[in-house]
A and B are shown apart, each in its own frame.
Chain A
Amino acid sequence: MARHSTLISFVIIALLAISGGWLPSWILPISTVALGNGLAVLGMIVLWRSGLVSFGQALYYAVGAYAVAFSARHFGLRDAFLLVLIGTLAGGLVAYIAGFLLSRYRGIFFAMLSLALSMILYGLLINSQILGASDGLSVPRATFAGFRPRGDNYAWGLFALVLAAVWCGAVAVARYNTTIAGALSTPMIDNELRIEFLGVSVDRLVHQKVVIAGLLTGLGGSIVALSVAHVDPAMAFWTTSGGFVFVAILAGTASVWGAFIGALAYEAIRTIAVATVPGTWQMILGAALLLTILFVPQGIGGLIFRRRRELGAKQ
């Protein structure tokens, strides 16, 4: 991301965060959850750009969320920044450990192994009394560097927090994409042999991308835990990972911002579908996915990115 784009995105994000004080109160929690999920999708896109599809991102999402809930309830931690940091690092740590195994696999084996790991966590969570078993854990209200916002201001604080995380995540991933490791993402799909013969371990590159995705997903999960104020084993279930895959298809891999636009679009489609056809809302989601694949295969991010490039070319 060029320096001026970074600055422009910062201003937009800051304006959005400020606007939270004037937005209807119902929109803030929905947006916070959608953008938190967008962070998980951004992590998935880091993998996807390298040809790796994870059906188990829910693993790091749930780990991040449960780390927040557990730290808040059992250690009495209340600071939102500290809790989010713990959740992020927990997601990254689990990804680091899982990465030793995952980095040896590609394609469908990578996808199914990641799914298997998340389902193991689901099994552990649902049987663990200390983690609330099938009921999960409630998450107490957090503070912001000692400040204790009341009423709707709490949702506004979390909305600002998720926007800050979105900006940091997007800028970091965009910066990463310009590095040698980032530039090797597409070549990893193309030609692992040449990369090895240039002296680079592809397994280690995969491991690194698993950790980056784990950190971003842990970050998303921890903010969602604070926003929803509750965590449960469903966060580790395969349908949660499926939702991320859905949004990743909707978002495309062309732009880091696509993940968040895709996540907001998904939330909007889901909310409207549930409100209009409560019994068969999944059908609307399925149709949306089908239409995306048929007519916008490069995703929303690709659509915006291409449009911007076309405008640039005209200028």
Chain B
Amino acid sequence: MTAILSAQNLRKSFGSFVAAHDISCEIARGETIGIIGANGAGKTTFVNMISGHLTPTDGRITFNGRDITALTPRQITLLGIGRSFQIAQVFATLTALENMCIATAIARRGESITRLTMNRAMAPDIVRDATRSLEQFGIAEYRDMLANTLSQGVRKILDVAMAAARDPLLILLDEPTSGVSREERHELMNHVMGALKERGVTILFVEHDMEVVTGYADRVLAFIDGTIVADGKPDAVFARDDVRARITGQSAHQAETHHV
């Protein structure tokens, strides 16, 4: 499969603190990749560098054959990378449908100021498409509720649905289940992954819940101390001692005992 995203020797430092270093990987079109790692391991820094939220100190990122290393989040979004956030980024004072209509209208009508000014936000075709998206993501019943009254889980799904409105080639999900109860996690991931797979989007998601990672990822990137230490099928990555000791919470000794 051809690589849609390629990261080469990425490094990000803040003064003397190195948040990420020597990150290299290739992501093929259509893959679903889970990123795991302890807090501060560099997962979100990696996602922020891809989405343009942070500019790498060194290294290069290419997306769909184009160098995106120094581009702004807006430029990267327009090239076909969408993203959701650890804290859902929705418009709190608008309803779920209005949120979705704005995202859909920008995606369908164009993002130039002229086009934004010439077209209505709640045109019938926009409302229809936005409603369809809410249905696809399983949150249509909340359409008339203000976003700030929605549960954390629904807000998270709405955040992803808005990021997916442009039909991106690649979507980055930063901890899609954080703050969501264990019972709701699988339902949330079923809705999100189902809708995204239906659109054929390549998915890169950061996740702490290993059950979720095992359940939905084709491939796992394990981060320790700001770099990727393991890259492969979930079972193979989880079997590594360093991953067990530093990420999944089991010591090497416990892991050995468990194996025996």
Contacts and interface: CB of A to CB of B under 8 A. Distances in A.
Interface of A: 176, 178-184, 186-187, 190-191, 193-194, 196-201, 204-205, 208
A176 B117 contact: yes
Nearest to A176: B117
Interface string B91-112: 1111000100111011101010
Nearest to B117: A181
26 contacts: A176-B117, A178-B121, A179-B117, A180-B105, A180-B109, A180-B119, A180-B121, A181-B117, A183-B98, A183-B105, A183-B121, A183-B122, A186-B94, A187-B93, A191-B89, A191-B90, A194-B90, A196-B74, A197-B51, A197-B163, A198-B107, A198-B162, A199-B74, A199-B78, A200-B116, A201-B74
Contact of A198 (B113, B122, B166): B166
Contacts of B90: 191, 194
Contacts of A200: 74, 106, 111, 116
B176 interface: no
Interface in B108-135: 109, 111, 113, 115-122
A52 to B, nearest CB: 16
Interface string B68-80: 0000111001100
A28 B120 CA distance: 37
A149 to B, nearest CB: 37
**B98, B102, B109: most-surrounded residue (chain A CB, <10 A):** B102
Contacts of B163: 197
B37 interface: no
Contacts of A187: 91, 93-94, 102
Contact of A199 (B51, B93, B106): B106
A135 B148 CA distance: 54
B103 A182 contact: no
Contacts of B119: 179-180
B34 interface: no
Contacts, number: 94
A208 B113 contact: yes
Interface of B: 51, 72-74, 77-78, 82-83, 85, 89-94, 98, 101-103, 105-107, 109, 111, 113, 115-122, 159, 162-163, 165-166
B73 to A, nearest CB: 5
Contacts of B103: 198
Nearest to B163: A197
Contacts of B51: 197
A200 B73 CA distance: 10
By CB atoms of chain B within 10 A, which of A176, A190, A199 has the most? Answer: A199
A180 B102 CA distance: 7
B83 A178 contact: no
Given A187-B91, A194-B90, A197-B163, A179 B116 contact: yes
Interface of B, helix, strand, loop or mixed by DSSP? helix
A197 B121 contact: no
B116 A180 contact: yes
A254 B219 CA distance: 51
Given A178-B120, A199-B74, A199-B78, 12 more contacts: A179-B118, A181-B113, A182-B117, A186-B93, A190-B91, A190-B94, A191-B91, A193-B85, A194-B159, A197-B73, A199-B166, A200-B106
B120 A194 contact: no
Contacts of B83: 197
A194 B116 contact: no
A190 B116 contact: no
A194 B91 contact: yes
A208 B116 CA distance: 11
Given A187-B94, A187-B102, A194-B90, A199 B118 contact: no
Contacts of B111: 198-200
Contacts of A205: 113, 116
A199 B91 CA distance: 15
Nearest to B79: A199
A293 B179 CA distance: 38
A253 B156 CA distance: 30
Contacts of B121: 178-180, 182-183
A172 to B, nearest CB: 11
A198 B93 contact: no
Contacts of A198: 77, 102-103, 106-107, 111, 162, 165-166
A89 B93 CA distance: 35
A256 B121 CA distance: 18
B148 to A, nearest CB: 9
A183 B116 CA distance: 9
B173 to A, nearest CB: 13
Contacts of B109: 180
A184 B116 CA distance: 9
Nearest to B111: A199
A187 B146 CA distance: 13
B116 A181 contact: yes
A154 B135 CA distance: 61
A279 B106 CA distance: 55
B94 A180 contact: no
Nearest to B101: A183
